[in-house]
Amino acid sequence: MSSARRLVKVVVEKHADGYVAYPLGLNDIVVAEGNTVDEALKNIRSAIRFHVETFGRAAFAESPAEFVLADVEWASPR
């Protein structure tokens, strides 16, 4: 029995005490952390798998996640 593979975009943020990862395009909140990027990705993969096994097709947003990553610059007040 083969399983369908699905690609999910994941954001990994560096914080003072490690890394936080979260997927784009899933309903509800799915978050994982780790001491390294690889550990955070391993943990989010597990969290995504659990979320999809629990909620099935309802786990995915109806339309694919569209995002833009942009830099925003502003003058700091003195």
Q: Are strands 32-34 and 18-23 parallel, antiparallel or unpaired?
A: antiparallel
Residue where the block lists tokens 């786990």: 59
Distance CA(7)–CA(62), nearest Å, equals 15
| pLDDT class of 49 with cuts at 50, 70, 90 | very high
Q: Is the pLDDT of residue 32 over 90?
A: yes
- pLDDT given for residue 78 in this prediction: 78
Q: Does residue 1 carry a pLDDT above 70? A: no
Q: Which residues pair with 13 in a beta bridge?
A: 20
d(CA 14, CA 36): 9
Number of neighbours of residue 40 by Cβ within 10 angstroms: 23
pLDDT above 70 for 9:
yes
Range in 21-30, 36-45, 60-69 the model is least confident about: 60-69
Residue ranges of the domains in the chain? 10-59
Instruction: List, for residues 15-28, the tens digit of each pLDDT value.
Output: 999 999 999 989 88
Report which residue type is found at 61: A
